[in-house]
With several copies, the nearest count.
Chain A
Amino acid sequence: MEVNPIIQNVFAPPVLFFLIGAISVFFKSDLEIPAPLPKLFSLYLLLAIGFRGGIEIQKSGFTDQVLPTLSAAILMSLIIPLIGFVILRYKFNVFNSAAIAAAYGSISAVTFISAESFLESQNIDFDGFMVGALALMESPAIIVGLLLVKFAAPKNRPNSRKMHLSAILHESILNGSVYLLLSSLIIGFLIASTNPSGIEKMEPFTKDLFYGAECFFLLDMGIVAAQRLPSLKKAGSFLIAFAIFMPIFNSLIGVFVAKLLTLGPGNALLFVVLCASASYLAVPAAMRMTVPEAKSSYYISTTLGLTFPFNIVLGIPIYMSLVNKVIPLSPL
């Protein structure tokens, strides 16, 4: 690769739109995308990524790599929150530590989408079953986070409410974004199996439009991320450092697991990005309901204000270099 991959990444439409969104905030432009329009794009992206992933999984079938990779993905989303928790406990109480750790164990679908776009622009192959990993990594991290609170929290948890296992499962699996992604994936799979003509009719919506809608949504994400920055300052330098170094650390674990799994470079990048990204949809929803003691600005400002932009702009190309170093290009 001749050109610096970071530069190459920055000159992709989604990243550029993200940047002009962020810049508009710094220059105090009154550009805004009013609610609920961002929700429309967010729902659309989840539906489309799920649907297309389901089709790809059906097409490629369950190869040897699928089961080990999905298992490893779930494992990562169980282990990363534990590591994050231990680190965060230096500075934060159990509630905040568990909530932030869960966010970093879980994933960000839009970061994943951006990594896919990056791979496509570099003509690097990847497999549809990685969307399965995406879908499977949201819930386990939430469960770990809630169990950490359940067992590590002081017994005299103020205003405590009983946290039933059923509530934990409900929050982790039936969260709107998890549910939409999973069920769209199942629909895609079913359609590809039983009714392939349906795919073609969906594609103008789920495929052709996707890239542009991604750009539009990233324009908004740029605005949102930049608006979060001030409240990050209040959160303190420990958390700011955490929001950058935790993804890098997770990407390092991720790349070695990807090597063990003998993933190709495309799948490896996606795996690393799943490890490195942090959730701002499912995890905040679950934590707000079940651990109101945790300060929401901690877990939302770090994920949206720092980790997300870092991954989108710098992280993905950095992880790609990492993958290229660690995983020798096998002659496939």
Chain B
Amino acid sequence: MKRLDLIFSERELDAILKTLEKANVPGYTVMKHATGRGPERVVTEDMEFTGLGSNAHVIVFCEQELIDQMREDIKAELSYYGGVAYISEATPL
């Protein structure tokens, strides 16, 4: 099994979740209120009340195939709006 970590602006959350649903992932977890810095942007806590919004951190445990299936859609979304995606190994307990 794989673990996919996605971090991006909460404004894109609906779009990303739609992508995940389309690929029929077995599940996902969302943690909002994340802040951070990427190559270009800084996201601070005060953006939560402005129109910009803070980040969301999404974790998906699923098979490699599903990731391959979603790859292009997710990458398109993240390259347009920013955000990062990393894969690592994970074994069910």
Do A and B touch (CB < 8 Å)?
yes
Q: Given A161-B80, A292-B80, A292-B81, A42 and B49 touching (CB < 8 A)?
A: yes
Q: Is residue B68 contacting chain A, with contact meaning CB distance below 8 A?
A: no
Q: Is residue A285 contacting chain B, with contact meaning CB distance below 8 A?
A: yes
Chain B residue nearest in CB terms to A177: B51
Q: Please report the C-alpha to C-alpha distance between residue A159 and residue B9 in the assembled complex, in whole angstroms.
A: 18
Cβ of A231 and Cβ of B42 under 8 Å apart? yes
Please, what's the 1-or-0 string for B34-67, where 1 marks a CB less than 8 Å from any CB in chain A? 0000001110111111111110000000000000
Q: Given A161-B80, A227-B44, A297-B41, A285 and B53 touching (CB < 8 A)?
A: yes
Cβ of B11 and Cβ of A285 under 8 Å apart? yes
Cβ of A34 and Cβ of B40 under 8 Å apart? no
Q: Is residue A146 contacting chain B, with contact meaning CB distance below 8 A?
A: no
Cβ of A283 and Cβ of B44 under 8 Å apart? no
Cβ of A227 and Cβ of B40 under 8 Å apart? no
Q: Given A161-B80, A288-B11, A304 and B51 touching (CB < 8 A)?
A: no
Using Cβ atoms and an 8 Å threshold, which residues of chain B touch A215?
none
Cβ of A281 and Cβ of B50 under 8 Å apart? yes
A-B contact count (CB 8 A): 66
Cβ of A285 and Cβ of B42 under 8 Å apart? no
Chain B residue nearest in CB terms to A32: B45
Cβ of B52 and Cβ of A34 under 8 Å apart? no
Q: Is the interface of A mostly helix, strand, loop or mixed?
A: helix
Cβ of B80 and Cβ of A281 under 8 Å apart? no
Most A-side CB within 10 Å, residue of B48, B79, B81: B48
Cβ of B11 and Cβ of A224 under 8 Å apart? no
Q: Please report the C-alpha to C-alpha distance between residue A288 and residue B44 in the assembled complex, in whole angstroms.
A: 15
Q: Please report the C-alpha to C-alpha distance between residue A175 and residue B46 in the assembled complex, in whole angstroms.
A: 18
Q: Is residue B33 contacting chain A, with contact meaning CB distance below 8 A?
A: yes
Using Cβ atoms and an 8 Å threshold, which residues of chain B touch A39?
48-49
Q: Is the interface of B mostly helix, strand, loop or mixed?
A: mixed
Q: Is residue A332 contacting chain B, with contact meaning CB distance below 8 A?
A: no
Please, what's the 1-or-0 string for B1-40, where 1 marks a CB less than 8 Å from any CB in chain A? 0000000010100000000000000000000110000001
Contact of B51 among A36, A227, A231, A282 (CB under 8 A): A282
Q: Given A35-B33, A161-B80, A288 and B48 touching (CB < 8 A)?
A: no
Contact of A35 among B9, B48, B51 (CB under 8 A): B48
Cβ of A159 and Cβ of B11 under 8 Å apart? no
Q: Please report the C-alpha to C-alpha distance between residue A177 and residue B53 in the assembled complex, in whole angstroms.
A: 13
Contact of A38 among B33, B48, B82 (CB under 8 A): B48
Contact of B46 among A177, A224, A283, A289 (CB under 8 A): A224
In the complex, what's the smallest C-beta–C-beta distance from A177 to chain B, in angstroms? 7
Q: Is residue A284 contacting chain B, with contact meaning CB distance below 8 A?
A: yes
Contact of A286 among B41, B48, B51 (CB under 8 A): B51
Q: Is residue A296 contacting chain B, with contact meaning CB distance below 8 A?
A: yes
Q: Is residue A136 contacting chain B, with contact meaning CB distance below 8 A?
A: no
Q: Given A280-B51, A282-B51, A227 and B46 touching (CB < 8 A)?
A: yes
Q: Given A159-B79, A292-B80, A285 and B52 touching (CB < 8 A)?
A: yes
Please, what's the 1-or-0 string for A219-235, where 1 marks a CB less than 8 Å from any CB in chain B? 01001100100010000
Q: Is residue A150 contacting chain B, with contact meaning CB distance below 8 A?
A: no
Cβ of B40 and Cβ of A295 under 8 Å apart? yes
Q: Can you sample 7 A-B contacts with CB below 8 Å?
A: A35-B49, A224-B46, A227-B46, A282-B51, A285-B51, A288-B9, A296-B52
Give 14 new A-B contacts, CB below 8 A, not counting A283-B51, A300-B50, A304-B46. Answer: A35-B33, A35-B49, A36-B48, A39-B48, A39-B49, A223-B46, A280-B50, A288-B9, A288-B11, A292-B80, A295-B40, A297-B41, A297-B42, A300-B47
Seen from chain A, the residues whose Cβ lies within 8 Å of a Cβ on chain B are: 30, 34-36, 38-39, 42, 159, 161, 175, 177, 220, 223-224, 227, 231, 279-286, 288-289, 292, 295-297, 300, 304
